[in-house]
Amino acid sequence: MKQPSIKTLGELKSSGYSSQSIKDELRANLIERLQSGEPSFEGIWGYENTVIPDLERAILSKHNINMLGLRGQAKTRLARQMVNLLDEYIPVVEGSELNDDPLKPISWHAKQLIAEKGDDTPITWLHRSDRYVEKLATPDVSVADLIGDVDPIKAVNEKLSYNDERVIHFGIIPRANRCIFVINEMPDLQARIQVALFNILQEGDVQIRGFKFRMKLDTQFVFTANPEDYTNRGSIVTPLKDRIGSQILTHYPKTIELAKKITKQEAKHTYNQLKLVEIPELLRDLVEQVVMEARDNEYVDHKSGVSARLSITALENLVSAAERRGLLNKEKKTTIRIGDLHGIIPSITGKIEMVYEGEQEGPYNVANILIGKAIRSLFERYLPVNDSRSDDSEDPFDKITEWFESGKKLDLEFNQSDKLFAAALNKVHGLGEIVDTYISDSGKMDKYVWMEFVLYGLAEHSRLSRKFYEEKTSFSDLLGGYLS
């Protein structure tokens, strides 16, 4: 919709425009979306039956909102998408720093301008994209930053009394009048600063330095918080929590399929990367499984959580690892391999908080443990596993293990060309047969990735020995591996 052509207060009145609060505005537009069947929040996977209905109920109730959840659970993204539920344009008194409604002005500037010019008061139109204000709570945030303070320089320059409203320099919250105002990581805000928000949330008014004036603000507040902060750094003080209408609990995706949707949507790849690198579904599954293993691992601090950003950056690094190899070998097309998973270790070590035992183990070792557990979990999903082998049934992996038991070993270099990679895997007896038998939809290059996956899976189940070197992974007979 184009910006309305109305330019004065008189024209606005003649148009039949009526004011409504931002909470009424959000509510009305949400009702319209619900009735039309349009999604109220787009690109948010896994919250359709949990978080989004809670958020819609909070908006319908005209509540201020606190979103509580571990890092990387789309709290800020949900808050930013609330902007789409605002009217496209709203009228504002021209020159107002507080986005004054021409029909309900609150600032001295707007009131004086309307008193002076009446229906000729000029107005402008504010787009909804400009009605979102976000502040990261940090310990150094002051009351003056959020609400405002007396500006002595303005008083001197304009020869105003300190009792004059015009000497006030307004903070970020008054300037967010008629906007969605978000404070991220709320527990990091000092308790004495949180107290200053009591009146704003309950009564909607601000008081600065004891001035005897009431400025009724119209703001939709959204707070985000991490449960970890409640013990490590601070908390939301109880009276402030009591003034927040709805607290909504977020969560991580509950299945690999949902996690893959999120990662695929968020991961950034260049056109040239996708032209060169094929991403098998197996590798997408492995990336998400690594994250799920991290969330349950004994070395990782569960209270801190494992962000969805881990899987996003891991997939980006995985593609880059294959791209680098393809460029070194001057290949026109290549496929991500299991061996490329060593390229996601920097994504893991930078995004997990470890308990004491994990610190002792070391971040690099913990990352390799998580990758190993992910391979083991998916191996058990796709291929027949019988660790005990107590029955008399034939072991489908006998040909593979016998090949290694005959004294042979296999080295898979990380920078090996696709041709040499395929030739190396074809040497192992029975490896291709296993994939043909149990993985029916593997393509030409995907088949070699699955063959490589079988070797890694057997090593995780202690059927083969696997050793990592800087430039390669080496597979051998289990007993021979121990002796070497």
In a domain, 368, yes or no: yes
Count of domains forming the chain: 3
Supply the pLDDT for residue 212: 57
User: Residue 216: what pLDDT?
Assistant: 85
Asked whether residue 4 is domain-assigned, the answer is no
How far apart are alpha carbons 424 and 455 in whole angstroms? Answer: 12
CATH number at residue 370: 1.10.8.80
- Domain match, 422 and 283 both: no
- Asked whether residue 451 falls in the same domain as residue 337, the answer is no
Helix, strand or coil for residue 59?
helix
* Domain identity same for 281 and 399: no
Q: Is residue 127 located within the same domain as residue 31?
A: yes
Tell me: do 229 and 153 sit in the same domain. yes
- CA distances for 247 relative to 78, 146, 217, 466, angstroms: 14, 22, 22, 49
Q: Are residues 262 and 351 in the same domain?
A: yes
**In which domain, by residue range, is 447 found?**
394-484
Domain membership of residue 388 (yes or no) is: no
Q: What is the pLDDT of residue 235?
A: 80
Q: Tell me, yes or no, whether 258 and 238 share the same domain.
A: no
Final residue belonging to a domain, choices 249, 271, 295: 249
389 domain residue, yes or no:
no
Domain boundary among 249, 272, 293: 249
Partnered with residue 278 across adjacent β-strands are 335
Would residue 73 count as lying in a domain?
yes
Q: Looking at the domain assignment, is residue 171 inside a domain?
A: yes
Q: Render each residue's pLDDT in the chain as its tens digit; 484 residues.
A: 567 889 999 999 999 999 999 999 999 999 999 999 999 999 899 999 999 999 999 999 999 999 999 988 999 999 999 999 999 999 999 999 999 999 999 888 899 999 999 999 999 999 999 999 999 988 888 888 888 877 766 666 666 665 667 777 788 999 999 999 999 989 888 888 888 888 788 777 777 666 656 678 899 999 999 886 555 556 888 888 899 999 999 999 999 999 999 999 999 999 999 999 999 999 999 999 999 999 999 999 988 889 989 999 999 999 999 999 999 999 999 999 999 999 999 999 989 999 989 999 999 999 999 999 999 999 999 988 764 444 556 788 999 999 999 989 999 999 999 999 999 999 999 999 999 888 877 666 689 999 999 999 999 999 999 999 989 999 999 876 555 5
| Cβ-defined contacts of 17-20 (< 8 Å, 24+) | 17/91, 17/103, 18/103, 19/101, 19/103, 19/104
User: Pick from 249, 273, 301: which residue ends a domain?
Assistant: 249
Distances in Å between the alpha carbon of 38 and those of 33, 58, 112, 157? 5, 18, 43, 53
Residues 322, 470 within the same domain: no
**Which pLDDT does position 386 carry in this prediction?**
65
**Does residue 76 sit in the same domain as residue 194?**
yes
pLDDT of amino acid 379: 95
Structure tokens at 38: 């349009």
DSSP state of 383: S
Q: Tell me whether residue 69 is in a domain.
A: yes
Which pTM does this prediction carry?
Answer: 0.86
Q: Are residues 471 and 374 in the same domain?
A: no
Give me the numbers of helices (H) and strands (E) for the chain, helices first please: 24, 16
Q: What is the pLDDT of residue 229?
A: 56
- Do 347 and 436 belong to one domain? no
Q: Cα(317)–Cα(322) distance, rounded to whole angstroms?
A: 9
Rounded to whole angstroms, how far apart are CA atoms 481 and 409?
10
Are both 224 and 289 inside the same structural domain?
no
> Which CATH number fits the domain that encloses residue 160?
3.40.50.300
Q: Is residue 236 part of a domain?
A: yes
